[in-house]
Amino acid sequence: MVSILDGLKAAVPENRIFLDGDVMAAYARDQAAWAPAGRPLALVKPEDAEQVRAVVAACAEHRVPVVTRGAGTGLSGGANAVDGCVLLALDGMDRILEIDADEQLAVVQPGVINDNLRAAVAEHGLWYPPDPASSPWSTIGGNVATNAGGVCCVKYGVTRDYVLGLRVVTAAGDLVSVGRRTRKGVAGYDLTALFVGSEGTLGVITEVTVRLLPLPVAPPQAVVGAFDSLVAAGRGVAAVAASGIMPAALELVDRYCLRAVDDWKNMGLTDLGDVLLLGRIDTGDEAAAAAMQDCFDAAGATWSTRSTDVEEADALFAARRLAYPALERLGPVLTEDVCVPRGLVPEMLGRIEERGKEYGVLIASIAHAGDGNLHPLIVVQPGDDDARARAQLAFEAILDDAVALGGTVTGEHGVGLLKKRGMHAELGPDVVRLNQAIKTAFDPHGILNPGKAV
């Protein structure tokens, strides 16, 4: 009888199969430190789509689970190994296959780093807008799997808005193409959109065709407001939303994050204020920048300013991106990803603060505030099991608060393992059954990333 290992050896060169425990452990989990991870049977690093197809076909024959991963930057446990699985690492499939400047699209393998794609298309005067905070490290395949957003999605949308087509290996081991290269197309169900955000539970993505935009030419203008509380900063967000201004970015960073970045990088941020709103206008519209500053002031900013200095603006947004890794240096971080209507951002921020007091845990906050996507970060000292338990209770309570305000338990990180209960509470049993029926139709034997998302 042919074993699964024999099947893998027939599918890929033997030097692409790794059985060493330490090597597999390095790939067995993402950045969600609190999500459980199992012991894989093997790690496979295919070089092309045909090898991916052959590996999945072998796993389908033997009913062995397949867990696909990219750079491992996820924050919900969506790429974590399950016991006895084959870990399929696609980070080595990292070629940009085509850039079509006339049609404004690019075709890439799933292991292409987000920032590398942005740099490559910029040489053609083009731009790939989705920019998660992990863009220097995260892969396009992982971004597609979680429908990643980022700093500029308030104006430009999320990953799904830029995916035109995909090549995908199905649970049966077939390599299929979905989507199109044209600007329009309504033939059949929109399977491309269905695969985006499916967290590897419906198929394995081996190629992505993305839509591009012209590279912005106006120098960005930064608008900064300092506030003495999260709720006051939330009022600034609501004021911008009500004004009709369309910022290219509107980010929130609280005092804990500013202090953590300062302690790490000594950037002098703590002196700026307790909570900062960082806005960006990318059209060269001075009136829009002035109106955003007025919104901050009217909401109670203790001070505000505008800058057209590109380096200064970039430094502030770089500090925002450093907040999460800076906090990780302090201890295990349980990361939230809730999203609420923009007018309810002050209410949600207030509830987050109350949950921190109720459960006696430190909750730092960063946010893509412009689209209501909040990232409360619950920090626990290493080895404090009681605090860890209280942090988990606070995490679940914040999920429930978001749902109660008409929001969602995940704006961009995905459900993974950490938010399954919250997702079920948000969707309700009837819609959960519809999701499970789709999973069964695409993956009848349940081998693709089992136990995740649905």
Crossing angle of helices 230-243 and 345-359, in 10° steps, is 160
Where do we find the tokens 């919250």? 422
CB of 59 closer than 8 Å to CB of 41: no
What does the alpha-carbon distance between residue 287 and residue 308 come to, in Å, rounded to a whole number?
13
Where do we find the tokens 């995490």? 395
Write b or e for each residue in 212-227: b if 16 or more Cβ atoms lie within 10 A of its Cβ, otherwise e. beeeeeeebbbbbbbb
pTM of the model: 0.94
One-character DSSP codes across 323-335 = HHHHHHTTS-EEE
CA of residue 127 relative to chain centroid, distance? 19
Q: What ranges make up the beta strands (E) of 117-203?
A: 126-127, 163-169, 175-179
Question: Which tens digit of pLDDT belongs to each residue from 163-192?
Answer: 999 999 999 999 999 999 998 899 999 999
Other CB atoms within 10 A of residue 81 CB: 23
Angle (CA) 194-165-87 rounded to 5° is 65
pLDDT tens digits in sequence order for the chain, 454 residues long = 469 999 999 999 999 999 999 999 999 999 998 999 999 999 999 999 999 999 999 999 999 999 999 999 999 999 999 999 999 999 999 999 999 999 999 999 999 999 999 999 999 999 999 999 899 999 999 999 999 998 999 999 999 999 999 999 999 999 999 999 998 899 999 999 999 999 999 999 999 999 999 999 888 889 999 999 999 999 999 999 999 999 999 999 999 999 999 999 988 888 888 999 999 999 999 999 999 999 999 999 999 999 877 777 777 788 888 898 999 888 889 999 999 999 999 999 999 999 999 999 999 999 999 999 999 999 998 899 999 999 999 999 999 999 999 999 999 999 999 999 999 999 999 999 999 999 999 999 999 999 999 9
In 3D space, the residue among 351, 303, 57, 309 whose CA is nearest the CA of residue 203 turns out to be 57
One-character DSSP codes across 44-109 = E--SSHHHHHHHHHHHHHHT--EEEESS---SSSTT---TTPEEEE-TT---EEEEETTTTEEEE-
Question: Which tens digit of pLDDT belongs to each residue from 296-319?
Answer: 999 999 999 998 777 777 777 888
Which residue segments constitute the domains of the chain, with CATH numbers given?
A: 4-89 (3.30.43.10), 96-214 (3.30.465.10), 217-325 (3.30.70.2190), 331-439 (3.30.70.2740)
What does the alpha-carbon distance between residue 258 and residue 274 come to, in Å, rounded to a whole number?
8
Edge-first strand order for the sheet with 96-100 is 96-100, 105-108, 204-211, 163-169, 175-179
CB of 250 closer than 8 Å to CB of 345: no
